[in-house]
């Protein structure tokens, strides 16, 4: 990541979430033990930017079941293909899923489901850029940087199975 960086940590039902900002926009949302999580020292100083308050507010509303679409400035650092996949993720409606192949076809590259899966796994802003909404061709839960238990929890949550138990195992 390049640019002025800062970070903070917020609590959520999925465990602590590390928020990273770059030049006033959200550049990262990482879960504990997340695959492809950059090293902590690359996140910049821990601070209380007003952006983080807005992100935390929207995350709280999401986890309360009151928000289905985030409205935040994002700064997603990746290749052109990765950014196109992440933009495609933003079009998947709350509470629904698509397969990697379906997402590849939507992007005009029907033979690129594996590449879509790899880009999906590198999504730097989990939950808000909803990579958890992508599943295998048969509907199976395949891969998730935050772990399959979190992916299952997020999908169940969005489908209306509002769990009262927090994800203490991920704290």
pLDDT tens-digit series, residues 35-49? 889 998 999 999 988
Residues tagged active-site:
131
104: tokens are 């590849």
Tell me what pLDDT residue 163 has: 53
Average pLDDT over residues 79-102: 96
Alpha helices in the chain (DSSP H): 50-63, 80-89, 100-106, 113-121, 148-158
């Amino acid at each position: 990541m390049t640019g002025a960086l800062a970070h903070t940590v917020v609590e959520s039902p999925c465990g602590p979430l590390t928020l990273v900002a770059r030049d006033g926009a959200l550049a990262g949302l990482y879960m504990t033990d997340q695959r492809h999580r950059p090293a902590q020292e690359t996140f910049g100083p821990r601070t209380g930017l007003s952006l983080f308050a807005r992100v935390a507010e929207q995350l709280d509303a999401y986890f309360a079941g009151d928000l289905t679409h985030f409205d935040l400035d994002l700064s997603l650092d990746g290749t052109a293909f990765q950014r196109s996949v992440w933009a495609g993720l933003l079009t998947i409606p709350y509470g629904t899923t698509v397969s990697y192949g379906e997402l590849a076809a939507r992007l005009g590259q029907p033979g690129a489901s594996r590449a879509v899966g790899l880009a999906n796994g590198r999504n730097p802003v989990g939950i808000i850029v909803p990579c958890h909404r992508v599943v295998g061709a048969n509907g199976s839960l395949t891969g998730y940087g935050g772990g399959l238990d979190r992916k299952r929890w997020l999908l169940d949550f969005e489908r209306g199975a509002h769990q009262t138990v927090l994800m203490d195992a991920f704290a």
